[in-house]
Structures are given as C-alpha cells and as structure tokens.
Chain A
Amino acid sequence: MGDPQSDLHPLANIDQVIHAPARLMVLTYLYVTESVDYVFLMRLTGLTWGNLATHLNKLEAAGYVEIQKTFNGKKPQSILRMTPAGRAAFTQYKKNLRQVLDDLPEE
C-alpha cells in the first residue's frame, strides 16, 4: 500500500470554490450554456435570491464568472457567463474528482 497522503493528493487539489454544492450547481449550468440571466439560474438551481448572490460573488471574486449588468426595458438584468478561467478550472475540477472517484476500490 502506498503513502495514504499521496493517494489522497488529487482530493487535496480539488478546488474548494467549485466544490460547494450550490456553486457546483451554478457552474454546471453556466458550463453548458453560453449565458443565462439571474432569474433563469435562480429557477433552475432552486436557490434563493440572496443565496445565489452570495455564491455568485464568490465565483466572481475567483474570476470564474462574469456578471454583466444591463437593462431589459426599464428593469435591471444581470447576465451571467463563465469566464475562460472558470471553464479551465471546472475542467480541471472534473478531472481531479474523476481521478479520486475512479481510484476508490469497489465495495
């Protein structure tokens, strides 16, 4: 059996900004679309306005998400899209997580 720490190395590399369930869900939808508005994302994820805002602020601070504020008529509209850095991080996250899960022994 190898060194347990080296076995767990990919797990330690997992991006904690992405790994939170709500943020993972948000990024999943942003990954598969070009852009969405705030209401669409709120509806699909089931998150509340404030909760989604908190997670989006974290993702924006990490440089994974870009928030563009526009107007739809007189109403403010926030358009959200994943940045190239966010796409790269998400792809790496998938790779790391897959490696960890694939290495787990069958029960």
Chain B
Amino acid sequence: MQTPISLKSAERQAFQSTFADGLWDVFIGCFALQFAIAPLLSETLGDFWSSAIFLPFWGLVYLAIWLVRKHVLAPRLGTVSFGKARRAKMRKFSMVMVAVNALVLLVGFLLALNFNQIPGFGIASLFSLLLLASFSLAAWLLDFPRLYVYGLLLFVAPLLGEWLYANLGFSHHGYPVVFGIAAGLIILTGLVNFLRVLSNHPTIDAGEV
C-alpha cells in the first residue's frame, strides 16, 4: 500500500499512472515511423501523397488505441477525470503542440522554397532542434519524463541520418534507417510497458460497492 506524502505528489502519481500503459509510447513510435516510411514512399507517390497517406493511418492508430484503452485497460487500470488545474495544463499542452506544428509547417514550407540553397546539415539541425524542443515541452507540461529520452533520441536521428548520407552514402538522408530504429525502440518500450501492465493488473471481478 502506497501512502501519498503530499497532495501534489498524490495528484502527480495519479496523473503519471495514466501513462504507465505504454500506449502513448506506441503512438509516439508511430509518429517517428512516419519519418522512416514517408521518404521511401515519396519516390512512387510524390511528396504530397507520401505524407497525406498517413492521415488514415493516424486515424486507425488512434482508433486502435481508443479501443484498447476502453476494452482492455479500463477494466484493469480504471478511469480518472482530473481537476481544473490539470485540465488547464492539458489545454496549454494542446495549444503549444498546435503552435509547434504550425511552426514546423511554416519552416518546412520556407525550406521547400529554398531547398537547394540550404546545406543538408542545416535542415537536419533545424529538424532536430524542433523535435527536441517539442518533446521537452511535452515532457514538462505532461509530467512524462520518458518524453525527454524520446526527444533526445529523435534529436539525434536527423543529424545521424545526415551523417550516414554524407559519409556512407545511405539513401534518403538516412531517415529510413535512423527513424526506423528510433521508432522501433520507442514502440518496443511501449509494448513492454503494455505487456507488463497486462500481466501485473488482471481484470478485476467487479463486485458491488
């Protein structure tokens, strides 16, 4: 039996327990996987469709996570609704993520206009910094420390990919390899956590209170 020391730590413990199931990790891993697959598809589908094709993919991933949460995890872990302060923090997180994504789109658009004049490492550095900044912000706003590690992993990926491309001749700026590995590690972490939750928390035979 764990006794909370303070109200703040109790709230934090309750909130962090909602990340213990590994599904967020799988979601982030799928996000990273997109950067590994899109460059490979761009040759056959073109730049627009190689990215647009991920929209239904995201819909399916989201639906799968929602179904697993509702039918597999909720009976094992229960459900919680947080108070005003935490909801305000989540709103702030959503706004920050929208702003970061808008910035990424804007930078991407500007880079596309001058793509040939910018050195590969310049683009990779910018991409790395954006990933690190957005993941660190998310880790801080969500009290989800694993996101710092994922941010670092994704920060290294474009730079390493560019190095592999420049020095060892890897195709597509090395993205399929580096983002594939990063996505694999993140999804694996999520699946390990998910399986651990399933084995540690069997379905509770519901009685009446």
Contact = CB atoms under 8 A, between A and B. Distances in A.
The answer on A and B forming one complex is yes
Given A28-B7, A38-B78, A56-B209, A43 B17 contact: yes
A50 B53 CA distance: 51
Given A28-B4, A33-B11, A43 B209 contact: no
A37 interface: yes
A25 B209 contact: no
Contacts of A45: 1-2
Contacts of B208: 76
A33 B204 CA distance: 22
Given A25-B3, A31-B7, A43-B201, 7 more contacts: A31-B10, A32-B11, A33-B80, A34-B84, A38-B209, A44-B14, A53-B209
B114 interface: no
A73 B80 CA distance: 17
Interface in A32-84: 32-47, 49, 53, 56-57, 67, 69, 72-73, 75-78
Interface of A: 21, 25, 28-29, 31-47, 49, 53, 56-57, 67, 69, 72-73, 75-78
A35 B207 CA distance: 19
B199 interface: no
The secondary structure that dominates the B interface is mixed
By size class, the interface of chain B is 20 to 34
A55 B77 CA distance: 20
B48 interface: no
16 contacts: A25-B3, A28-B4, A29-B14, A33-B81, A34-B81, A35-B81, A36-B14, A36-B78, A39-B75, A42-B204, A43-B17, A43-B201, A45-B1, A56-B209, A72-B70, A72-B74
Contacts of B1: 25, 45-47
Q: Is the interface of A mostly helix, strand, loop or mixed?
A: helix
Given A34-B83, A49-B204, A43 B77 contact: yes
B83 A39 contact: no
Contacts of A21: 3
Contacts of B14: 29, 32-33, 36, 40, 44
B207 to A, nearest CB: 6
B77 A39 contact: yes
